[in-house]
Amino acid sequence: MDAVRQGGSSDPPGAAASIADAKRGLGSVPFARALVTGLLLALAVVVARFSWDLPMSSFAERVAFDVRSLQAAMHRPAAQDPRILLVVYTPATQEATGKRSPLDRAILARALANLDRLRAKAVGIDILIDQPQPEDDALRSTLRAMRTPTWLAYASAAHNGADMQPWQQARLDALFRDLRGSRVRPASIHLEADGDNAIRSWPRTPRDLPPFLPQALAGNSNGAHYDGSIRYRMPADPERQVFLSLPIDLFAQPETAAALADQVRGRIVLIGGDLPDSDRFVTPEGRLANPDTAFGRQFRENIPGLEVHATMLAQLLDTRMPTPTGASGLWLLAFLVVLAGAFTAMLDVRPWVLGVILGGEMAFFIATPFWLQNIGVDTRDLPAVGWVAGWLLAFMATEAAVRALSSEQRRFAQAALGKYLPRDIAAEILRDPDKLSLTGEKRAIFALFTDLEGFTRLSHRLRPEEVAPLLNAYLDGMCEIVLRHGGTIDKFVGDAIVALWGAPIARDDDGERAANAMLEMVAFARDFSTRGDQAAVRLGRTRVGVHYGEAIVGNFGGRDRFQYTALGDVMNAAARLESANKALKTAGLISATALERSNSDAFRPMGRVTLAGRSTPIEVWEPAPDMPFADRRALAQAWTAFDAGDLSALNTLHALTARYPDDAALQFFVYRLEDCGPGRHFELREK
């Protein structure tokens, strides 16, 4: 550490040793704390990577994905698909056939025969023929005679659990043995819903099952199965769903079926149920859309499984298969998110800069999943909520570690520098120890001086054990105001306080901070002696002076002691302003030079005065927050008019003094104006 030279002097010997110890200790973090922080960061990575699988976050991830799916669907509304036709059993079909479950197979056989003649491109049947019915022979004959490529539903007891008993699978296996050599082949219809019964992803197809129905109908039954999210589409016209759906009853008779030849020819026909009480699933969009609105009706609350198959089939035909993020990509993103949270917690920047950084990171977390969804990346397993949770966990863990380290730094600073420098200067030196070698620099500052009127006489009347608590309580309150408004406490001179704004750190709003501190100090001092034990003592009035100007700031002192302070005319002027309060009967005075940099309207004019020992007049203002704004403005306007030579403005001034007969400062102000005349100033002769 460089020695601080003040006229050939150096640092106090103890300070140099203490600072050296502090520099050695600043980077030390106890092993236990580092271990806990490391474990929390590792946990944050796990949360940011696997939040889809965690019980506390999986629901939120589903909702976030549903919002993205809805936005993507709204972005690209679809016209009715001309390639796919749904032929469905409806409640009316059940009523006409007199069969609820299993569905009537006689009408299925007749519909298949008629559809076969209408030259459909392919037929997919989402109905399990797993229970014996009287119409089975007719249906079997129709299936054997099909010339159209037909895929019939198949399920396995091994993969469907209680929904498929071994004897049912045995009947299915026997049926397909009978159909061997025909154009009818088995296709898996297994769908996998999430815990909320919403279908978001393509199901996994085990190798011991036949090809998945949409894949088989798309013509790539031997290709690799897609493992990603389903891309549902929003109908461009609320009155026309994405897929044309017709009751199977219309195809049961040759005459009505022939009338629908144009709706069948060249299309892939999917046959299944559209029944309110079975085989229905919620879609991501349907969970969010309000069915009571026109927009919401474009997304039904739930859809039949047959339409889910149709959606996946259309997705295959359109090759709208989102690119998976991949495990390595998800791990990389998780690490980056956690690193961002940790580094953000370690930033030592201004609040507004931190706010911009936080806003940018939150925008990234929100916008990136939507952007990836829209450019064709599969966000089904993207842990968007996990990113935020992982970032927050990393931020809090690192913030706690940084705070603990900062606490150690503060203890080092207090031990090494607390005896020689003010606390805020010590904190600045701790962040940049080289600043201790600062010898002086010119800065524009706001200087504030206070003095407690009559305290010396009062202290002679009180016992010593009464003076210290009283003065300490007063100074504590006044200093807390200075520090809360970002000021630097320069020194104490008995009951007086000297404070600075603009050094050692300058802020754009230093003027506003200084003015607000002045207002609060005047109010605090006025009320202090009326509270608690102080009420019996009755302290005198506190006088405050504030001025703005250039000063030399730095470390000044002798060989063994030095102080960070300011020297210059601005300090003298602020001290004279504090003293001028006595003559002007005011509680506080701030120069116009300082006030115009504060943007405060809580002050009233007190004219121009020449301070003791100075030749140039200065315009001064007094804190008057309790005076209505209209009266403050009227006073300022009247003084400006009078100062410009308008003597009629005295009428307004006298009216104001009449309204405030107990306001000695206002009364004396108007008296001075009359005595001095327009454009003149009042000369103070005493310091």
Mean pLDDT of 149-171: 82
Q: Is 201 helix (H, G, I), strand (E, B) or coil?
A: strand
Decide if domain 443-683 falls under CATH 3.40.50.300: no
For 293, list phi and psi in degrees, rounded to 5. Answer: -110, 160
What integer is the mean pLDDT of 142-161? 87
Q: Is the pTM of this model over 0.75?
A: no
Strand partners for 270: 86, 124
Helix/strand/coil for 683? strand
81-127 pLDDT, tens digit each: 999 999 999 999 999 888 888 899 999 999 999 999 999 999 999 99
Buried b (16+ CB within 10 A) or exposed e, 329-353: ebeebbbebbbbbbebbeeeeeeee
State yes or no: pLDDT of 22 exceeds 80.
no
pLDDT at position 402 over 50: yes
Write down the pLDDT at residue 110: 94
pLDDT of residue 498: 93
Instruction: Give 573: exposed, middle or buried? Use CB within 10 Å, 0-12, 13-18, 19+.
Output: buried
Considering the chain, what is the average pLDDT of its residues?
83
Residue 437, pLDDT score: 46
Token pair recorded at residue 272: 């299944």
407 Cβ contact partners less than 8 Å away, ≥ 6 residues apart: none
Confidence at residue 366, expressed as pLDDT on a 0 to 100 scale? 87
Domain ranges of the chain: 1-57+323-437, 78-321, 443-683
What confidence category does residue 199 fall into, taking pLDDT thresholds of 50, 70 and 90? confident
Say how far apart CA 658 and CA 665 lie, in whole Å: 13
* Res 185: pLDDT: 94
Percent of the chain with pLDDT over 90: 40
- What is residue 17's predicted lDDT score, i.e. its pLDDT? 37
Mean of pLDDT values over 284-309: 70
Strands 122-125 and 150-154: parallel
Cβ burial 267-276 (10 Å sphere, 16+ → b, else e): bbbbbbbbbe
pLDDT at 25 > cutoff 60 = no
Residues belonging to the chain: 687
> Within 10 A of 442 (CB to CB), how many other CB atoms are there?
11
For 543-596, how does the pLDDT look when each residue is reduced to its tens digit (9 = 90+)?
999 999 999 988 777 656 677 788 999 999 999 999 999 999 999 999 999 999
Higher local confidence (pLDDT), 431 or 585: 585
CA distance 527 to 587: 13
**366 with 344: CB under 8 angstroms?**
no
The token pair that represents 621 in the structure block: 């203002």
* Residue 642, burial from CB neighbour count under 10 angstroms (0-12, 13-18, 19+): buried
CB 301 within 8 A of CB 198: no
Report d(CA 30, CA 155) in Å as an integer.
60
φ, ψ of residue 278 in degrees (nearest 5): -155, 150
What's the 3-state SS for 577-642? HHHHHHHHCCCEEEEHHHHCCCCCCCEEEEEEEECCCCCCCEEEEEECCCCCHHHHHHHHHHHHHH
Phi, psi of 153 (to 5 degrees): -60, 140
Average pLDDT estimate for 16-38: 58
- The torsion of the CA quartet 135, 141, 144, 146, rounded to 10 degrees, works out to -90
**The pLDDT of residue 558:** 65
Q: How confident is the model at residue 537 (pLDDT cuts 50, 70, 90)?
A: low
